[in-house]
Amino acid sequence: MATINFGGVDEHVVTREEFPLKKAVETLKNETIAVLGYGVQGPGQSLNLRDNGFNVIVGQRKNSSSWKKALKDGWIPGENLFELEEAAERGTILQYLLSDAGQIAQWQMVKSKLSDGKTLYFSHGFGITYNQKTGIVAPKNIDVILVAPKGSGTSLRKLFLEGKGLNSSYAVHQNYSGNAHNKAIALGIGVGSGYLFETTFKKEVFSDLTGERGILMGALAGLFEAQYNTLRKYGHSPSEAFNETVEELTQSLMPLVAENGMDWMYANTSTTAQRGALDWRHKFRNATTPVFEELYNKVSSGEEAQVVINANAEADYRIKLNKELKEIRESELWQAGKKVRLLRPENN
C-alpha cells in the first residue's frame, strides 16, 4: 500500500503495480465468487472478473430481463448462471449487487446462506450504514467488505475492454478471517479498478449519495436546465442554447479537465473566457455551498435514505419514475440534444 499526498493530505492507495492481477487471482484461487444481481454493477464486475480468470457465477431471477441479458453475455444456466438462492448457496464470496431496495427484499434469504467464514461484498455502503432502516445486519462470523467503482458498471466494462481502469474505493467492515483486506483489494483489482483508495462504509455512502444528488447528476441537470432556459428566454435558438450549455461542456471542455485539470483548461481558453470564469466561479460556489451543506446533512442524518426506501416501497414507483424520465426526455432541452447528437460527424 502506497501513501500519496493529495493536496497536502496523505492517503493510502493500492495500485496494480503493488497488487498485480496474478496476486489477486492467487489470493482468491479457492473462492467461488457469486455475483447476486445483474443490473447496474453486476454485468461489468462479473464479466471483468471472468475475463481476468476468477471463478465466477451469477445469480439472478430466472426469466427476468436481467437473466436474459446474462444469457446474451455468455453465462450458461446450470454452469455459471443460477437462481439467486442457488448462487448464494454455492458462493463463498457473495457480491451483493442488487439495488438497495432489492437488497432489503432479499436479505433474509441471503443471510441464511452466509455460513461460517463466507464473505459478503458490497459496492455501496447503504445497506450496512443505514441498517436500522434496511435491517441488513451481517452475522459476526463472516467477512464484510466493499469495493465501490467510481462510475457506472457500463463505464467499468468499457474501460476494462480498452485496457484502462475505473478508480474504486474499498473498505472492510468485518475482518473475521483476518484476510478481509487482501480479499477486498484482490476483488478491486479483479473487477478492473485503476487504483483503490481506502474508505469506510459510512464515508462511501455519504459521499456517494451527496455526489449523485449533487454535481454528478442532480446539480448538473439543474444547472443545465437553468442556463438553457435563460438563454431561450432571451431569444437564443434551441441549437445555440444546447450547444453552449451541454455540447461544449461534454464534448470539449470536460475531456480537457479530465486529462489536465481545471487550471490547464482555463489557461488554454480565451482571455475573455478566463476572466469571466475565474470571477463567476466564486459566485456559483458561494450560492451553492448552502445547498450542498443541506444535502450532506440530510444524507448523514439518514433522511435521504428514508426517502429512497419509502419511494421504492411504493407499488407504482416505476410508473412514477417513467413519468419523471419522460418529462425530462420530452423537454425542449433534451429534444434539442437528441437532434444535436445526430448531427455529430460520427453519426453522418
In a domain, 180, yes or no: yes
Position 264, amino acid = W
Confidence (pLDDT) at 5: 85
pTM: 0.91
Residue 212 pLDDT exceeds 80: yes
Which residue, chain included where needed, has cell 478508480? 167
In a domain, 97, yes or no: yes
Band of the pLDDT at 257, cuts 50, 70, 90?
very high
Mean pLDDT of 316-320: 94
In a domain, 231, yes or no: yes
Confidence (pLDDT) at 263: 93
Phi, psi of 235 (to 5 degrees): 95, 5
Confidence (pLDDT) at 7: 80
Give the CATH number of the domain where residue 316 resides. Answer: 1.10.1040.10
Distance CA 80, CA 2 (A): 36
Q: Does residue 163 share a domain with residue 28?
A: yes
Residue 249 pLDDT exceeds 90: yes
Mean pLDDT of 217-245: 97
Mean pLDDT of 52-64: 96
Residue 347 pLDDT exceeds 90: no
Length of the chain in residues, anyone? Answer: 348
**Model pLDDT for residues 157-207, shown as the tens digit of each residue:** 999 999 999 999 999 999 999 999 999 999 999 999 989 999 999 999 999
Band of the pLDDT at 52, cuts 50, 70, 90?
very high
Q: Does residue 229 share a domain with residue 102?
A: no
Band of the pLDDT at 346, cuts 50, 70, 90?
confident
Confidence (pLDDT) at 57: 98
Mean pLDDT of 136-143: 97
Residue 11 pLDDT exceeds 90: no
Q: Does residue 28 share a domain with residue 113?
A: yes
Torsion of CA 66, 189, 3, 255, to 10 degrees: -60
| Residue 277, domain extent | 212-347
| Catalytic positions, written as ranges | 124
Least confident piece of the model among 31-40, 65-74, 248-257 = 248-257
**Model pLDDT for residues 279-309, shown as the tens digit of each residue:** 999 999 999 999 999 999 999 999 999 999 9
Residue 316 CA from chain centroid, whole number: 25
Arithmetic mean of pLDDT over the chain: 95
Residue 27 CA from chain centroid, whole number: 25
Mean pLDDT of 120-130: 97
Residue 320 pLDDT exceeds 80: yes
Pairing mode of beta strands 119-122, 168-174: unpaired
Confidence (pLDDT) at 12: 83
Q: How many CB atoms lie within 10 A of CB 254?
A: 12
* Domain final residue pick, 155, 172, 199: 199
In a domain, 233, yes or no: yes
Residue 1 pLDDT exceeds 80: no
Distance CA 138, CA 119 (A): 10
Confidence (pLDDT) at 111: 98
What is the total count of domains within the chain?
Answer: 2
Residue 6 pLDDT exceeds 90: no
Q: Does residue 45 share a domain with residue 11?
A: yes
Helix 332-342 and helix 317-329, axial crossing angle in degrees, nearest 10: 60
Give the CATH number of the domain where residue 105 resides. Answer: 3.40.50.720
Q: Does residue 120 share a domain with residue 242?
A: no
Mean pLDDT of 30-47: 96
